[in-house]
Chains A and B, each alone.
Chain A
Amino acid sequence: QTVVTQESSLSVSPGGTVTLTCGLSSDSVSSNYYPSWYQQTPGQAPRTLIYNTNSRSFGVPARFSGSILGNKAALIITGAQAEDEADYYCVLYRNTVLFGGGTRLTVL
């Protein structure tokens, strides 16, 4: 069974930069997996941030960017703000939809 791996938790200082990663238990992640990223705050529906590895969804601030780093997909937040404190999920597609377990990001 393929598992999508994410850091369980990360922290960043206000104004700092943080990288969240999304890996696969059985393969390297490439753009062929159409990596996408979603932000979820408590009690809310997910919000689409990034699709197709590095395309920002409409209205998403430029401080959010996506890339492939090594064998993983990555979400980079440059200049983190307090409102970025949330859970972040990656999704990969390879014959089925695969959700990562999520990363809880704390801004402090």
Chain B
Amino acid sequence: QVHLQESGPGLVKPSETLSLTCTVSGDSVSSSDYYWSWVRQSPGKGLEWIGYIYRTGSAFYNPSLDSRVTISMDASRNQFSLRLTSVTPADTAVYFCAKILLYYFAPYYFKSWGQGMLVTVPS
């Protein structure tokens, strides 16, 4: 059974870079069957897709965040990571990592989720 666990600083200062890591167990980030994704949820708000990465290193991002987001992968550690630059209080959210099943290389659905991690950017 796959398990995804987010880790990283829970507090990031404005204008700095948010960095989170998702450690995967019970599955391999090198699998050809999945994309590995980040999703966030601001307090009291809905879910927002941030982006996903494939085993080749190819990544796709939400256009609204594209200029500030980088998702990378470390297959040797079975991890993938999120970097979000120039953060503001609007980036305060619970950040989830997730596994997306592929169907003909298109995202099919979110199959597994991490428990989520709150990151706060103070005003």
Stretch among B13-21, B78-86, B107-115 lining the A interface: B107-115
In the complex the two chains form, is B49's CB within 8 Å of A46's CB? no
Stretch among A17-25, A68-76, A78-86, A97-105 lining the B interface: A97-105
Known: A91-B110, A93-B106. A45 touches B115 (CB 8 A): yes
Query: Size class of B's contact patch?
Result: 20 to 34
Kindly list chain A residues whose C-beta atoms are within 8 Å of the C-beta of B31.
Answer: none
Question: Please, how many angstroms separate the alpha-carbon atoms of A38 and B46 in the complex?
Answer: 12
Query: Size class of A's contact patch?
Result: 20 to 34
In the complex the two chains form, is B106's CB within 8 Å of A102's CB? no
Query: Is A34 part of the binding interface, using a Cβ–Cβ cutoff of 8 Å?
Result: yes
Known: A34-B103, A34-B106, A93-B106. A99 touches B113 (CB 8 A): no
The 8 Å CB contact of A91, one of B109, B112, B116, is: B109
Question: Please, how many angstroms separate the alpha-carbon atoms of A99 and B107 in the complex?
Answer: 13
Q: How far is the CB of B35 from chain A (nearest CB, A)?
A: 9
Question: Please, how many angstroms separate the alpha-carbon atoms of A99 and B50 in the complex?
Answer: 11
